[in-house]
Amino acid sequence: MKLGIVILAAGQGTRMKSSLPKVLHPLAGRPLLAHVLETALSLQPEKTVVVYGHGGELVRDAINEPDVLWVEQSEQLGTGHAVQQAMPLLQDMDKVLVLYGDVPLVREESLRKLISNAESGVGLMTVTLKDPSGYGRIQREPSGKVQCIVEQKDASREQLAISEINTGIMLVDTRHLQQWLQELSPKNAQGEYYLTDIIAMAVRDGVDVHVTQPGDVVEAEGVNDRLQLATLERVLQRWRAEALMRDGVTLLDPARFDLRGSLLAGTDVTLDVNVIIEGRVVLGDGVFVGANTVLRNVQVADNVCIRENCVIEDAVIGADCAIGPFSRIRPGTRLTGGVHIGNFVEIKNSTIGLGSKVNHLSYIGDTQMGSGVNIGAGTITCNYDGAYKHQTTIEDKAFIGSNAALVAPVCIGEDATIGAGSVVAKDAAAGELTLARSKQTTIKGWKRPKKER
């Protein structure tokens, strides 16, 4: 069976009150449309067409998916009209599956169920809601056979009481769809070409309508405003948290956890509250991540302890490192192993050798640091001359006294000691003590100024 998928994404999304097209609003860090596309592509369709409208170029650029065809619907004349715009590209498909760009949580399994339930005839996905208001209602005969879909604005009082609603997701033979779309008319309360009218046409033409319900009603929920967006965000995060816990990850509070990318975790990983994971993150066995820490594209080896309030981005952390609280590790950093990074320390584009320690109030940038190095509190690499960045090299077992300024390019030799407060602008000899500061003098009899009464 040649399956074509059309994703409707031309609606303006006025209720979002945003300059960003609705389908680009992020859910778990990715545009709504990207979620629907991912699910669509998981079905391995022959063709996938996105119908876009307002802000179209923005949408195409943001999605940048090579396997997708784009069709513009310049005037939004209704869901039927939208599908019609995509039909020229779908002629050679056997069936067409219609999805909505703003219904992001529909799952692959539910769509597969819809497809297998409707080998012949039309497949329709419905759910039963306590509050069905706003949705199209599924009108059935007393026998239970589906008759038609009635939109909220066209419904009678009896029809408004129906709690089974149209999710909008349907599967139709291309041949039938072509024919029925041509028969649509905008003679209804909204003056639109309703896709939903094809259900009555199927019944008229003796084509069976097979109804499928998704595993979870939330799969049918659309995003119309920021409230619904926030609701779906929490649902999706809960699903992700549950999947991680089932895989053996401890989340100290699954309600206070956000995964906005992918997380691969080893055994006995514990995440404290308000951890945010973005991009691709890998955590080894026995890793602990403290409260309020953000990890973005980070690879962490076994038995690393990252304490509270750290921000770590585009970095590789070796085994047995201890980081934080309040550490910032910026792109291009590699902590080889057993490294200690303490509070108010910023590391950028640097490699820190085995067992080295930078424990307090330091900035280390563009630095190659050996193993067994100790960096005293307040030490700064002066890596920027106002125009260019320069490298600092600190060899094995060097000891840098507190509040030193290492003016790059500079090399601190193996086992060298730098006196506290030194401004080191020339290479420091291995194994020796280097001091670069003015001598301490005492001015006898000097008095601090006093305020006159």
Instruction: Point out the catalytic residue in the list 25, 54, 340, 360.
Output: 360
Q: Does 324 bind ligand UD1 (CB under 6 A)?
A: no
Q: Which of 39, 84, 166, 356: binder of ligand UD1 (CB under 6 A)? A: 166
Q: Does 290 bind ligand UD1 (CB under 6 A)?
A: no
For 55, the 3-state DSSP assignment is strand
| DSSP summary character for residue 44 | -
Q: Which of 4, 21, 222, 290: binder of ligand UD1 (CB under 6 A)? A: 222
Q: Does 35 bind ligand UD1 (CB under 6 A)?
A: no
Output the six-digit token pair for 252. Answer: 């100290």
Asked, as a colleague might, if the bond just before 132 is cis with ω within 30 of 0, I would say no
296 to each of 165, 233, 260, 394, how far by Cα in Å? 40, 19, 9, 27
Q: Does 168 bind ligand UD1 (CB under 6 A)?
A: yes
360 catalytic per annotation: yes
Q: Does 9 bind ligand UD1 (CB under 6 A)?
A: yes
**How many Cα atoms within 13 Å fall on the side-chain side of residue 57?**
0
Which of 58, 308, 87 has its CA nearest to residue 193? 87
Q: Write the binding mask 47 to 76 for ligand UD1: x where contact by CB under 6 A, - elsewhere.
A: ----x---------------------x--x
Q: Does 219 bind ligand UD1 (CB under 6 A)?
A: no
Q: How many residues bind ligand UD1 (CB under 6 A)?
A: 27
Q: CB-wise, 33 or 410, nearer to ligand UD1?
A: 33
Q: CB-wise, 176 or 340, nearer to ligand UD1?
A: 176
User: What is the C-alpha to C-alpha distance for residues 442 and 292, in angstroms, rounded to an integer?
Assistant: 48
For residue 373, give every residue at least 6 positions away whose Cβ sits within 8 Å of its Cβ, in sequence order, or none.
352, 353, 356, 357, 394, 395, 396, 397, 398, 399, 400
Output the six-digit token pair for 42. Answer: 């998981």
Q: Tell the smallest beta-carbon distance from residue 84 to ligand UD1 (Å).
A: 10
Q: Which of 39, 48, 79, 383: binder of ligand UD1 (CB under 6 A)? A: 79
**How many Cα atoms within 13 Å fall on the side-chain side of residue 198?**
31
Q: Tell the smallest beta-carbon distance from residue 185 to ligand UD1 (Å).
A: 13
Q: Which of 45, 56, 78, 372: binder of ligand UD1 (CB under 6 A)? A: 78
Q: CB-wise, 156 or 262, nearer to ligand UD1?
A: 156
Q: Concatenate the DSSP letters of all residues of 231-251 into one string.
A: HHHHHHHHHHHHHHHHTT-EE
Q: Tell the smallest beta-carbon distance from residue 263 to ligand UD1 (Å).
A: 30
For residue 327, give every residue at least 6 positions away whose Cβ sits within 8 Å of its Cβ, in sequence order, or none.
310, 311, 312, 341, 342, 343, 344, 345, 346, 347
CB burial of 137-156 (b: ≥16 within 10 Å; e: otherwise) equals bbbeeeeeebebbbbbebbe
Q: Which of 24, 59, 82, 181: binder of ligand UD1 (CB under 6 A)? A: 82
Q: Does 11 bind ligand UD1 (CB under 6 A)?
A: yes
Q: Tell the smallest beta-carbon distance from residue 261 to ligand UD1 (Å).
A: 25
Which residue in the shown chain puts its C-beta closest to ligand UD1? 136
Q: Does 233 bind ligand UD1 (CB under 6 A)?
A: no
* Count of C-beta atoms within a 10 Å radius of residue 196: 23
Any idea which residues carry the catalytic annotation? 360
Q: Which residues bind ligand UD1 (CB under 6 A)?
A: 8-11, 51, 73, 76-79, 81-82, 100-102, 135-136, 149, 151, 165-168, 194-196, 222
